[in-house]
Amino acid sequence: MISNKCIFYVFLVLTLCCILADAITTDNSLPLYGVKRHGFVNRRRDGVGAITSNHGGLEKRKKENDKDKDDKGEYAGRGPINKAAAEDSFEDNDPTGSSECQSPSDGQPLVQYAVVMDAGSQGTRIHIYKFNYCSDYPQIESDIYTKDKTGLSTLANDPQKAAEVIEPLLKQAMEKVPQELHKSTPITLRGTAGLRLIEENKRNELLQQVRDKIQESTDFLLDTNNNDGGVIVMSGEDEGLYEWWALNYVLENLKTPTDSETVGIISMGGASTQFVFQPPQDASIPQEYKKTYRGPSGSHDVYAQSYLGFGKTEARSKVFEEILSSSSQQNDGSGKDIVYSTCFDSSFSSNKPPTTGTDEDEESIQDNEDGGGPMTVAGTKDPGDDGFQKCYDTIKSIFRVSDINDIDSNSGPDSVDSNIQFEQAPSELLPDNQTLFATSKIYDMVKAFKIGPDFTPNDMKVLASKTCQHDKSAFNDIKKSKDLKEMLDDPYLCVDTTFIYALLIDGLKLSPDRTLHASDDLNGFKMGWAMGAAIDMLLNKNN
C-alpha cells in the first residue's frame, strides 16, 4: 500500500511540473530591467574627474553594492546596473503618480512618459522613460528597458523581419505606460552607426517597415518634430550631442543661463566614437562640428564630432586590413602566405577580418600578389619587449588623415565627406579643467582591468603594454569578473587596448596625462543618447 507520505510527494512533484509548464507556455515576454531615481545628483569636485553626490544617491547605491565590491568596488553607483538590482527596482506601484511631488508645475501634467527605441549595431533596445513635472522642466523619475539582441542593421536584406524584432518591445511599452497616457506619449526609433553603414535604399525600406509597425500596433505619438516620421537614422554628431545633453541634464549643469561648468564625453560604441564638449564661449568652433542645444539654461554651442568606422568592432577590421597591407608576408612552406603580428598571440591565425555587425559585411580576403590564395594573419610566438610598440605602430597608422573618411547619414557607404577627419584637433578647444567622461566600450575596459574610474591615456598605455605580452598570468592579481575573463580570452584584446590608447593620443590628440572619468551610469541611470532624445522630444512637444 502506498503511504500518505508518498502520495504527498507525488502530488507535490505534479504541482511543481504544472507550474513550470504554465510558465514556459504563457510567459514569452522579454526580461525587463529598470531603475528609479535615487535622490538628486549635485556636483562636488575633488579634482578633475571626481564627482560625488551631496544627496545620497551614489552613496546609497554604494552601500547596496558593498557585497559585490570585488566586482564593482569603486564603480558602485557608476557602473552598469546589475541584473538583480534592476529586477528589484523597475516595478512602479503608482504609474500615474510621482514620488517627488503631488501636484505639477502650472500647465503641465504630473507625469509624462517618453519611449525611445535604440537601433544599435549589436541589438535593439527600448527605453520607457517616466518624467515628472514637479518643476517647469521634465525630471526623469524612472527608466524601464529591455533589449532584443538582433541589430536592425543585420536585416538590410530582409527588412520585413524588422517588424518582428520590435513587436515584443512595443508590447512591453504598451503594458508599462498607463493606457490613458498612450496618446500623449511620444515615441521614436533612432538608428546609429550600424544603420548608417548600409545602403540608403535598403535603410529606407527597413525604416518604413518599423514606422508602419509602430503606427499599426500602438497609440503612441510618433515624434515628427523634424518631419522625419519619428523613425530615423541619426548622424553621429546628434548621437553624441544627445548623450552629452543627458549627462549634463542629470548632473543639473543646464538649469540656469549662468551654468557653464559642463562636462565633456567620449563615447565609443561598436561602429563609431563620439566626442562632445562645450568649448569656452569665445572659442571659434568649426561649422561642421558646431551643434547648438537649447534647454532650461538657454542655447549654447558645443563641439560634436563623430568618427564613423572608429568604434571598437569596426576598428578591429581596420587593424586587420592594415596588418595585411603593411606587413611583409612569409611562406610557411605549404603554399600559405602568412603575415605575423605582435597584436595577436601565437594561437591566433585567420584570413578573414572580423565581422562588423551589418548584413553587408564582406568576407574580404586579400589575395597575395601571386594569386596563390588568401593571406593569413597570425600571432607571433614571442612578442618580445617591443611587442606593444610594434602593434601600436600598426594601429596608429589607421589614423592617417588622408585615409579618414566619414559617411553622411543620408548617403550610402561609398559616400565621402572630406570634412570628417582627424586633421581637426578638438583638444585644442577643450578647457584644461573640464571633466571628461569616457563611456561604453572604454568604460568596459577600464572597469574590467580596474585602472579607474579616473585614468589617463598613459594608464591605458600601461595596460596595452601588458595585454600585448599575451600573458594572462600578468593579471592574476585582479579578481576575475565575467567581463575580465571574456576579455582575457579574446584574441583581439591587445588590439582593443592599443586602439583605445591610439584613439586618445593620435586621434583626439589628448595629453598623455589628461584625466578621464570612466562611467556608464549616473545616479542609477544608464548613460546614453536615448535619454537625451527623450528630453528633446518632451521639450519640443511642449513648444
301, 277 in Cβ contact below 8 A?
no
Q: Looking at this protein, which amino acid is placed at residue 308?
A: L
**Cβ contacts of residue 484 below 8 Å, gap of 6+?**
448, 449, 475, 478
Is 261 considered catalytic here? no
Catalytic residue among 59, 100, 175, 239: 239
Q: What CA–CA distance (Å, rounded) separates 259 from 45?
A: 15
User: Per-residue pLDDT tens for 282-335?
Assistant: 889 999 899 987 766 677 789 999 998 899 999 999 999 999 887 666 665 566
H/E stretch holding 274 reads strand 272-277
Q: Please give the annotated binding residues for ATP, written as ranges.
A: 270-274
- Write out the chain's pLDDT in tens, 543 residues: 556 655 555 555 555 554 444 443 334 445 555 555 543 333 333 332 333 332 233 233 333 333 333 443 333 332 332 232 333 345 788 999 999 999 999 889 999 999 999 998 778 999 999 999 998 888 999 999 888 989 899 999 999 999 999 999 999 999 999 999 999 999 999 998 889 889 999 999 999 999 999 999 999 999 766 556 789 999 888 999 999 989 988 888 876 655 568 999 999 988 889 999 999 888 899 998 999 877 666 777 899 999 988 999 999 999 999 998 876 666 655 667 889 999 999 999 998 888 655 444 433 333 333 434 568 899 987 777 889 999 999 999 998 755 444 444 444 433 333 334 577 778 889 999 999 999 999 999 999 999 989 999 999 999 999 999 999 999 999 988 999 999 999 999 999 999 999 999 999 999 999 999 999 887 778 888 999 999 989 987 765
Q: 412: which residues sit within 8 A by CB, 6+ positions away?
A: 198, 199, 200
Residue 105 grid coordinates? 508645475
Say how far apart CA 36 and CA 144 lie, in whole Å.
9
Distances (CA, A) of 311 to 127, 229, 245, 414, 500: 23, 28, 21, 18, 9
Name 450's Cβ contacts closer than 8 Å, sequence gap at least 6: 73, 478
Q: Where are the beta strands (DSSP E) in 121-271?
A: 123-132, 139-148, 186-191, 221-222, 231-233, 264-268
C-alpha cell at 460: 591605458
Find all residues with CB under 8 Å of 43, minimum gap 6, and list them.
51, 251, 252, 253, 261
User: Residue 248: enclosing H or E segment and its boundaries?
Assistant: helix 236-250
Backbone angle region of 121, left / alpha / beta, with phi > 0 → left and psi within -120 to 50 → alpha: alpha
The domains of the chain, with CATH numbers, are: 266-311+402-521 (3.30.420.150)
Q: What is the pLDDT of residues 325-362, one digit of tens each?
A: 876 666 655 667 889 999 999 999 998 888 655 444 43
Helices (H), 251-369: 312-326
β pairing state of 376-379 and 337-341 = parallel
The dihedral over CA atoms of 492, 493, 499, 500, expressed in degrees to the nearest 10, equals: 140
Residue 323 CA to residue 391 CA, distance in Å, equals: 9
- Where do we find the cell 588623415? 401
**Residue 361 Rama label (left phi>0; alpha psi -120 to 50; beta):** beta
User: Which amino acids are annotated as binding site, given as ranges?
Assistant: 270-274
Task: Tell me the whole-structure pTM to 2 decimals.
Answer: 0.77
Residue type, 278: Q
Helix (H, G, I), strand (E, B) or coil at 19: helix
* Spatial contact of 275 and 240, defined as CB atoms under 8 Å apart: yes
The residue with cell 509602430 is 214
Closest C-alpha to 542, from 181, 292, 184, 99: 184
